[in-house]
Chains A and B, each alone.
Chain A
Amino acid sequence: MSFVSVGFRTLFYKEMLRFWKVATQTIAAPILTAMLYLLIFGHVLEGRVEVYPGVSYTAFLVPGLVMMSVLQNAFANSSSSLIQSKITGNLVFILLPPLSHWEILLAYVSASVVRGLVVGAGVFAITAWFAHLSFAAPLWIIVFAVLGAAILGTLGVIAGIWADKFDQLAAFQNFLIMPATFLAGVFYSIHSLPGFWQAVSHFNPFFYMIDGFRHGFFGQSDISPWTSLAIVSAFFAVLAAVAINLLQRGYKLRH
């Protein structure tokens, strides 16, 4: 089996083409949403909150919004593609050919990573005009952006396989992904939270993705980026194992 097989490349290309053909909805809309968050929260809280010494609130917010957009769009890409294909029945075009489980997973996740990064880059390009940003450790920015998008892309594959209806997927998105993202420190440092909620935040893997990503900009974070990397990598490995297991068993795909 080859990860760069024609089968993998074709499915990856198809998934890219799918979101590119509706770029207004899949790329432009989330960029606009993130910009609105920045304008509103930045305007209300600028000058009142200083999370890290010497870093304005708007500057603190930008990496959080970028990472939130990366994560949410990576999830949306794989999950919506799978649920649409399942409901319309065209998933059969993927299930009939000799694609391996790894090829299917990697293609969906890779396309999710690309969409997440494209939206993230777009959000950054727009929001960076509103704040003075530094790039203390750019490698961490890339590592956490790619890994975070891959995790959410994989979670999207799992949710897309599990969900039978659009409202089940919406529940997954609204009751799991959104709260986990919002409570991961997009808008604040968890050090500003009471002790109990700080402890709870440490069980949220999204916190480590956003904290590690932000470290790449400011060289400051709530915890060490190495710790975040270890936790995020372990989380990715677990999710990938779950997704592969579902594909191998044909869970809700092959009856």
Chain B
Amino acid sequence: MTAIQINSVEKSYKGFKALKGVSLNIEQGEFFGLLGPNGAGKTTLISTIAGLIRPDVGSVKIHGHDVVTDFREARKHLGVVPQELVFDPFFTVRETLRLQSGYYGIKNNDGWIDEIMHNLDLTNKADVNMRALSGGMKRRVLVAQALVHKPPVIVLDEPTAGVDVELRQTLWKFISRLNREGHTVVLTTHYLEEAEAMCQRVAMLKLGEVVALDSMQGLLRRVSGSQLIVHLKEGTLPEGLRPLVSHDENDGQAGGKGNRYSLRINAPGEVEAILARLRESGAVVDEMQMQQADLEDIFLQIMGDAKAGKGAL
């Protein structure tokens, strides 16, 4: 069954096209990643799924229910953790979660509320006013609010932005459990290692368009080879090696302590040729490391291709 069906969604704000005909199907039980740089349209797309934004063209369905014309059924199936750290200062954590349950038509939900609070380490904050919580704790409450009605589809819009390692671990443990139990999870994040670890399938958005849509393995296969990271003690990278650079970790400031480069290579045999070129140019390698390509490399490559107008889908 399709959990989320997004059909040719377009959205403009005062002439700026935030979404340019996005189409996606997310299947029930998937852990799906929605990635892209700032301004790619991720939050606009999530807000459209949540019914907070109405598309100019196209439609979104949650478990077959249109988010505009059949919004009550659609919203019953959806739990959204918003990106903004919002809270109601009048209430305690428990009051907040009880109220949120009631909005979804659920009475006497304390059993599940206690379980959510336990899993998100909120139990000892249950009777604390929302104003008195730290940012990380408020983020946990936002996650809890999205889960009070046990939604089959959970959307997390950058849930770990600016939070500590402990919350990340707690959150992913709980969300993974819900995913194993059959809940569909859609995640947007700027932490690509999180997406790589959690997501089975990924869509990459850029300037309101889907520029890549594939399984995580499929995406990782796209970038063959590895990264050779070299730290130069003396000299600088010769021009002939510049096309291999995937990350210039010096931000263009070669030399000195930060003279580090990540070079894309297809086979280990290429390392010797690179070292020879460095020696010829008078550069001295201080440190060297081989690394397998990861989602970040793919992300940068796909975003670069999209910028150059190459189709990546």
Contacts and interface: CB of A to CB of B under 8 A. Distances in A.
Contacts of B90: 17-18, 21-22
A97 B52 contact: no
B298 interface: no
A148 B53 CA distance: 34
A7 interface: yes
Contacts of A17: 90-91, 95
A6 B102 contact: yes
Interface in A90-109: 90, 92-100
B54 to A, nearest CB: 6
A85 B89 CA distance: 10
Interface string B138-171: 0000000100010000000000000000000000
A48 interface: no
Contacts of A97: 75, 100, 103-104, 149
Interface string A1-34: 0000111011101100110011000000000000
Interface in B78-132: 78, 80, 82, 84, 86-91, 95, 99-107
B136 interface: no
Contacts of A90: 86-88
Interface residues of B, number: 35
A192 interface: no
A98 B53 contact: no
A138 interface: no
A7 B102 contact: yes
B51 A93 contact: no
A160 to B, nearest CB: 15
Interface residues of A, number: 28
A179 interface: no
Nearest to B80: A96
Contacts of B87: 88, 90
B150 to A, nearest CB: 14
Contacts of B74: 98
A94 B52 CA distance: 11
A5 B72 CA distance: 13
B103 A94 contact: yes
Contacts of B145: 93
B76 interface: yes
A22 B78 CA distance: 33
10 contacts: A7-B104, A9-B102, A88-B86, A88-B89, A92-B52, A92-B82, A92-B84, A93-B88, A98-B74, A254-B53
Interface of B: 13, 47, 50-54, 71-76, 78, 80, 82, 84, 86-91, 95, 99-107, 145, 149
9 tightest CB-CB pairs across the interface, nearest first?
A10-B102, A97-B103, A89-B86, A98-B72, A98-B75, A6-B105, A90-B88, A90-B86, A14-B99
